[in-house]
Amino acid sequence: MYRTHNLGELNIKNVGEEVHLSGWVQKIRNLGGMVFIDLRDEFGITQIVISDEKLQEEIKNIYTESCIHIFGKVVERTSKNNKISTGDIEVVASSIEVLGKCKNVLPFEINTDQEVREDLRLEYRFLDLRNEKLHNNILLRSKILKSLRDKMDELGFTEIQTPILANSSPEGARDYLVPSRLNPGEFYALPQAPQQFKQLLMVSGFNKYYQVAPCFRDEDPRADRAPGEFYQLDFEMSFATQEDVFKVLEDVVPYTFKKFTNWKVDDGPFIKIPYKVAMEKYGIDKPDLRNPLIIQDVTFLFKNSDFKAFENKTIKAIIVPNGAEQGRKFFDKMTEFAVQEAGAKGLAWTKFENDGTINGGIAKFITEDIKQGLQKDFNLKNGDSIFFIADELKIAQKIAGLIRIELGNRLELLEKDTYRFCFIVDFPMYELNDDGKIDFSHNPFSMPQGGLEDLENKDPLDILAYQYDLVCNGYEMASGAVRNHNPEIMVKAFQIAGYTEDDVKERFGALYNAFQYGTPPHAGAAPGIDRMVMLIANSQNIREIIAFPKNKKARDLLMRAPSVVTDEQLKDVHIKINKTND
């Protein structure tokens, strides 16, 4: 009734046919005796010709982005357009019907390169999604999801859905709480991940589980993380080791990237980098391996230095090959970045000129012994520049990591059109929280390396876990772990973090109880679907690959959520709001 063809499929072979077409008016061009309409749908654009005077009169009140239906005959174009798939033909309309009117003034132009405020785009997301690039991102997401499901099915995994209304669990972020109408004063929590459920599925005898799982975390948004909710390809395997999980990731991830991009993609096995080494060499636990710069520890070279800013500090250095050719403005801008963006107190630097002289920055503190040490131990060459970061160890590592990233970007050192993968392994099981107390550093359900013996005999901060991340181009692509399936080890691990056995039974009673009934060793991971699509689409903003995202303040400007609810709704769930004046 509405269309015999979509707007991307007519070609020279269809000349002479009568067709029904429907779509949105992208452009109207009135050339006097002839009116041309570019009619658009998801599949392409077809040019419509209106030569009949009566029809021309009818379309005077049709504006761009109106939805119309036309009936007409396909003819060969005299002036062909090789930029579109239908460029050899056009359709001479004999009738036009308006299916959906559009206002004569749009909030913004849809298919242009002009910058539009993001809040306006999100408020009119239904229009924004008509933009070709954004629309194609959502179609790409759908294809990637189908491909992932097909691949997991091929590998023998079974798709199983787990509950959305669940219990509160310590996954590293705040829960979204849902009040219970039938159980006054009690709350569900939206799952930060299906962690406990997938482990229970392994106890239940399922061999390999997966799902495209929605996860909910009340954390601050950023460019690579959507606020509130995200999706991951969650999977778990019984009788599996860390290496078994790696093999699945090395199979699924490169396969997916190669299918949807023409960039170079790393094949497995991926490089494995211990967490401690990653922090030493890259200053971050998600290093971008396209960046060739490496962080070096040069503390010992400055042991007897007169430079007071380096006294009793850990000193990190980044050598930039051929960096001496940069002008003073470049070094000033890097210092400005270090202080204003990276949180440094300053940024020391110097240039080793091609003639062997040392200039700029802290050149006067580079003694001959230090120069020779840099050349011998760190392969510093004439023509290079070097940046120094001095602070307490962890702070120095973090700042140096940010400086490395900025240098790589500003100097355009990153490999082009490439996806580089690595595994970060051997994460610490525990860390000190802001109160100086022992807490889990990653996933509390992970198996500690060394098992119960290490938990009982080692300093908690020295205990490593069978936890791992998959990293791609500086983004965490997946997290996973070999799970703790032993109730005795589970209780001890939580005790170190300040939980009693009663706490474990109360908060994680299902797992604790299940572990008493023959639990197989199991392991898994969860690649983030949003980030995967963002990388494949080569988008810099995760909101560009989500159909209806929230803004930077976690607000849905289209649906106006969150919103105030009625007193009656609150009464139903036994909640009373205490309103106070600021």
Residue-level pLDDT at 171: 56
pLDDT bin (cut points 50, 70, 90) of residue 93 is very high
Query: Quick check: 112 pLDDT over 60?
Result: yes
- CATH architecture group of domain 135-272+422-546: 2-Layer Sandwich (3.30)
Extents of the domains making up the chain:
12-100, 135-272+422-546, 291-414
* CB contact set of 290 (below 8 Å; sequence gap of 6+): 408, 414, 415, 418, 420, 473, 474
Cβ 130 vs Cβ 24: under 8 Å = yes
* DSSP state string for 401-441: HHHHHHHHHHTT-SPSSEE-EEEEE--BSEEE-TTS-EEES
pLDDT bin (cut points 50, 70, 90) of residue 582 is low
* DSSP state string for 74-88: EEE-SS--TTSTTTT
Going through 65-141 in order, the beta strands assigned E by DSSP cover: 67-76, 89-100
Mean pLDDT of the chain: 94
Residue 545, CA distances (Å) to 94, 169, 229, 300 in order: 39, 28, 13, 47
> Are β-strands 430-432 and 438-440 bridged in parallel, bridged antiparallel, or unpaired?
antiparallel
Residue-level pLDDT at 387: 97
Where do the H-state alpha helices sit in 261-312?
275-282
Cβ 399 vs Cβ 343: under 8 Å = yes
Q: What tokens were used for 204? A: 């239940």
Which uninterrupted H or E stretch holds 400? helix 393-410
Where do the H-state alpha helices sit in 182-318?
195-203, 242-260, 275-282
pLDDT tens readout for residues 479-497? 999 999 999 999 999 999 9
CATH fold for the domain made of 291-414:
Gyrase A; domain 2 (3.30.1360)
Selected residue with higher pLDDT from 169 and 354? 354
CA dihedral 68, 116, 133, 412 (to 10 degrees): 170
Cα 372 to Cα 241: distance, rounded to the nearest angstrom: 47
pLDDT bin (cut points 50, 70, 90) of residue 316 is very high
Q: What is the largest CA-CA distance in the chain?
A: 92
Q: Which of 265, 215, 235, 231 is closest to 151 using CA atoms?
A: 235
pLDDT tens readout for residues 438-473? 999 988 899 999 999 999 999 999 999 999 999 999
* CB contact set of 579 (below 8 Å; sequence gap of 6+): none
CATH 3.40.50.261 fits 12-100, yes or no: no
Cα of 165 vs its chain's centroid, Å: 25
Cβ 351 vs Cβ 328: under 8 Å = no
> How many residues does this entry show for the chain?
582
Which segment of 239-248, 467-476, 546-555 scores lowest on mean pLDDT? 546-555
Cα 421 to Cα 416: distance, rounded to the nearest angstrom: 14
Residue-level pLDDT at 450: 95
Cβ 198 vs Cβ 236: under 8 Å = yes
Q: Letter for the amino acid at 342? A: A
Query: Quick check: 115 pLDDT over 90?
Result: no
Peptide bond into 562 cis (omega under 30): yes
The structure's pTM equals 0.92
pLDDT tens readout for residues 35-83? 999 999 999 999 999 999 999 998 998 999 999 999 999 999 999 999 9
Residue-level pLDDT at 224: 74
In the three-class reduction of DSSP (H, G, I as helix; E, B as strand; rest coil), residue 278 is classed as helix
Cα 472 to Cα 286: distance, rounded to the nearest angstrom: 8
* CB contact set of 494 (below 8 Å; sequence gap of 6+): 444, 503, 504
pLDDT tens readout for residues 320-373? 999 999 999 999 999 999 999 999 999 999 999 999 899 999 999 999 999 999
- Phi first, then psi, for residue 12 (nearest 5°) are -60, -25
* CB contact set of 576 (below 8 Å; sequence gap of 6+): 570
Cα 212 to Cα 153: distance, rounded to the nearest angstrom: 13
Q: Which of 134, 191, 199, 143 is closest to 164 using CA atoms?
A: 191
Query: Quick check: 545 pLDDT over 70?
Result: yes
CA dihedral 218, 220, 221, 222 (to 10 degrees): -140
Cα 169 to Cα 189: distance, rounded to the nearest angstrom: 8
Residue burial 448-476, b: 16+ Cβ < 10 Å; e: rest: bbbeeebbeeeebeebbbbbbbbbbbbbb
Query: Quick check: 304 pLDDT over 80?
Result: yes
